[in-house]
Amino acid sequence: MSTNQIAEVFTMDAAEVVKILEQTEKSAAKDGESGCADSTQALGLLVKRLMTDPPELCCPISHALMEDPVVAGDGFTYERSCIEGCLKTRTKSPMTGAAIQTEVLYPSQKAKSEIIAFKEKTVAEILNVAPQLPGSLALQVLSRAEEFLRAQLPDASARRKLSSLLLLRVKMPGVKRHENLHEIVSLLVQIEAEGELQQFLRETDESDLLSLLSNVDAEMIPSIQNALQSVPTKCKVLIDKKLVCQLANRLSEEERLKKLWKVLLTNLDVEEWAKAAAVVLAAFTARLAGAGVSMTDLDLQLLKDARKYLENHNDAISFANGFFNYDLGISSMSPWPPRGSGMLLGELASRLPLADGKVEKLALLMKAYTLDYGQNVEVGQALKRQLHHCILHSEALDSKINGILDVEALFLQLIAEDEEDIPADVLCKLSLEEKHLEDSLTANQLMFLAEQLGKGGRCVEAARIAIVAAKLFAVDSEDEDETHDAFLRAFRWDRTNSDASEGLATAVMTLKERFSQRLEDLEERYEHLENEIKKGPFPFGMSLTWDLSGYDFSDFSRGQMQYSGTLQIFPGITAWICLCPKGDANSDPGRAALYLHVDKAAKVKVKFSAGRTELILDHDYSTTLAADGCTQGRGWLNFMEISEVQGASITLQVLSVQPARSPWRLSAPSLLNRFYGHHLNPVLPGLG
């Protein structure tokens, strides 16, 4: 091998290689040897150089490579701890013996940089040379490089170089691989060297891997699990188990649940893992479906196992605790089975052939429908189709089905809930047993069924069902009209039905009594109103003027109010005016506010006039009641100029009034002309 090739292998200058070889030749000559220098001796000299610290970078006191170089008062560079120790005993230079005038030490950045550069160069040379060296020499230089690198941790570059160094060392003869295994894996995980980690784990004995995995740190689990996908099954399953146990503690996070499910699916060929997947599926069916898991893609046995856990809460808790070291929160899930798991049972039912399991298929669909009531349209439709089939093939049904499910009543219930027409092929086969229908359907659903029967020409049955509904309405409803309507419809469908006739007669009598009472109430109210009107006169439709000339508003402040006296604007309804002569809190500057108050809720329309101001108030006081039910004043924040208030007159004309909950509204001027025949305009001085 040429000197240039040797220099390239060891990343050295060619001249330095020649020098080493010459020294080797001289040594060989002295020993009486001839020929070329022994390569081992040359490498020994190389190792000696790599193991030797440059004198200029060593402390003159300790003769060791400096870590914290400082310049002392004598101008020499020392290791800080060494010179500090000397100065404590005497203040003389260790180099010259002369007195040092100052004990101040100055960090030597130049020396520090040179030391760092030396270490980096030495480490780089060692990492390049070590693979070419004999084992003992390689371990010697690797130990020196390791010392340099560990001093730099946790620097990212130092971690990467240390991982390379340790990977080299474990390949050396006599080195026990398992002693460095944990640290190497930890470093490779930290520097995210996925390819190197995978290669290293692949080359590691299974026994060493099992030892590593038994004590692996939690933060290393995901990276190791990813790297172990192609290694022996025993190790892969072990790390997968550690990962799923770690993920199981916080399944409220969607990404953790998705990751857990993915790992479980990769191990379904192992029985315990298949059961674990079934427990997770049972507990989180809805969330898994929301994350993109399709029930139709799942293995039939997995669905069956999940069903078993849905049917036994305690078994699900027990297995979860045993496998995941945590119950996945199943013990606190209420209700159990959880909402959303119906889609699992629905999928399982869809895979059962009717000929082999019609009873079980119906039971599964019914359970699924109950669990996901109102949520899963597909399950409801599947259940209706199955019930439809059973009704059409009643001769093929054994007694067991009717012992478990009232097929006909359930089918009618589903049809009524979805407000669908009963299929014609089913309508003609319905047995319509009253007891079953009464126990299964609501009164409204029974009426829906009766309507369907009536349209289908089964009027006698329609009347019979309507009477059942009427009796339920009479018990459950506070509205007699629904009961009466049901009897009326029953009579329309079958006039020979005695119950319908009797119910209709009762309804007619009840309505007659109700209308008679209402008529009496109306006559009484009309008479009362007529008497009140005859009591007149009252100022309805009149122009009433509030004379303000007797008031002094000069000392009034903003928001201060002046009230008029009360006046009757309608029989039993009293009103009064509120004036803020200096404006309300929210009035515009220079504007006075005015409000009209009434003591009872009513629709009131009045006209206000004052100087150049003329405004109409049309308001329903029942719509702006206070929290205590009292009426509140209504009017204008900016009714008129403040400068025009003093000495002014405010005229009120009542145009119409309609008391709350009364059908009567009295309006001017027709009423005014009827009772008074001429215009009155009284002046009300000093009201208030």
Strand blocks (E) in 279-371: none
* Cα 644 → chain centroid: 63
Region of poorest pLDDT, from 66-70, 190-194, 512-516, 661-665 = 190-194
What is the CATH architecture assignment of 57-107?
2-Layer Sandwich (3.30)
Residue boundaries of the structural domains of the chain: 3-51, 57-107, 539-685
Exposure on the CB side of residue 452, measured as CA atoms within 13 A:
21
Whether 539-685 and 57-107 are alike in CATH topology: the answer is no
Region of poorest pLDDT, from 160-169, 482-491, 521-530 = 521-530
Angle made by CA atoms 420, 423, 427, in degrees to the nearest 5: 115
CATH match for 539-685 among 3.40.50.1380, 3.20.20.10, 2.60.210.10, 3.40.50.300:
2.60.210.10
**What is the pLDDT averaged over residues 5-20?**
58
Residue 608 is encoded by which pair of tokens? 């206000």
- Summarised one tens digit per residue, pLDDT across range 262-278 is 889 988 888 999 999 99
Question: In this structure, what are the phi and psi dihedrals at residue 371, rounded to the nearest 5 degrees?
Answer: -65, -40
CA distance 34 to 37: 8
pLDDT for 540 equals: 52
pLDDT for 450 equals: 87
* Residue 399 banded pLDDT, cuts 50, 70, 90: very low
- Answer whether 529's CB lies under 8 Å from 664's CB: yes
* Residue 10 banded pLDDT, cuts 50, 70, 90: low
DSSP class of residue 639 equals E
For the chain, percent of residues with pLDDT exceeding 70: 80
CA distance 556 to 563: 13
* Residue 529 banded pLDDT, cuts 50, 70, 90: low
* Residue 542 banded pLDDT, cuts 50, 70, 90: low
Residue 89 is encoded by which pair of tokens? 């005993």
Report the DSSP beta bridge partners of residue 78: 70
